[in-house]
Amino acid sequence: MKQATLLFLIKDNQILLAMKKRGFGQGRWNGAGGKPKEGETIIETAIRETQEEIGVTPKNISQVATLDFYFQNKPEWNQQVLVFTSNDWEGETSESEEMKPQWFEIDKIPFESMWPDDPFWLPLILKNKKIKAEFTFGDKDIILNQKVEEIQNF
């Protein structure tokens, strides 16, 4: 299964989300992330995508989740997403052609404008849990099956 990354910046009871302005996930809040380039490690991908999409260089990133996504009617979209967090970075967040970043209080995350799987796992990683999850989507992003479990290590 192809891999992708997501990275969330976290500070002072806030999380940085970015509005996707084009492409896959357009119109939804999410973390920065994307697919690896040839020869790039998944951690290098997470750092590069964060630099390109929101203008900062994350440091001391930690993997917090592995999410397997299956799309019943679009198997070409199937992917494993490795999720990272960081509370240390260089630079100031800025808007790019692809993403518009914004800080949100942890208790005011706009789940209604995010992927429908996010409420199942994002609150857990914000409580310092490590997660392994699987989601199967049907038409119109309806979740057909989901399994979320806490794990000890990756």
Is the separation of the CB atoms in 137 and 118 below 8 Å? Answer: no
Encoded amino acid at 61, one letter: I
Checking if the pLDDT of 25 tops 90, the result is no
Span 46-91, pLDDT tens digits: 999 999 999 999 999 999 999 999 999 999 999 999 999 999 999 9
> Quick one: DSSP state of residue 32?
B
Checking if the pLDDT of 146 tops 90, the result is yes
Classify 81 as helix, strand or coil. Answer: strand
The pTM score is 0.94
**Average pLDDT for the chain:** 95
**Third-level CATH fold of 3-151:** Nucleoside Triphosphate Pyrophosphohydrolase (3.90.79)
Count H helices, E strands: the chain? 2, 10
